[in-house]
Amino acid sequence: MIKVRIPTPLRPLTKNQGEVDIAAGSIGDMVNTLESTYPGIKARLCDDSGELRRFVNIYVNEEDIRFLKGKDTALKAGDEVSIVPAIAGG
């Protein structure tokens, strides 16, 4: 299983859970698995072409997936994935 950390703005979609455990072999697989359990989450993370949106970072064990293999980044049991919204303010 993979542990996925869900940021506050997405918790309304995950029944207010801050962490969810799912089975997934890659980041793309993880996003689709999350979407099947928590509909609507994929559109918040990816644009219409499936690319990661410009205001979200996904880290696998503290490494940004943009410097791994993006959505093809492989996941193995015990990995921790953090979904982190962009730094923002007003």
Partner 1 sequence: MADLVIPQAILDDMVAHAKELAPCECCGLLAGTDQTVTKIYRIKNVVALEGAQQLASFDSAKIAHLERLSPAERAEIAFVMDAQDLAMAQKDMRRNGLTLQVVYHSHPHDPARPSVTDIKIATDYEEYWGKINLPVPAYLLVSLMQHTPDVQTYWIRGGQVTKAAVDVQQ
Q: Which residues of this chain interact with partner 1, rule CB under 8 A?
A: 5, 7-10, 43-44, 52-57, 59, 62, 64, 66-67, 82, 84-90
| Side chain identity, residue 44 | R
Kindly state the smallest distance separating residue 67's Cβ from partner 1, in Å: 6
Cβ contact 60:75 at 8 Å? yes
Kindly state the smallest distance separating residue 86's Cβ from partner 1, in Å: 5
Which regions of 2-85 does DSSP assign to beta strands (E)?
2-5, 19-22, 56-60, 63-64, 80-85
Gap between the Cα atoms of 33 and 54, Å rounded = 21
Kindly state the smallest distance separating residue 77's Cβ from partner 1, in Å: 19
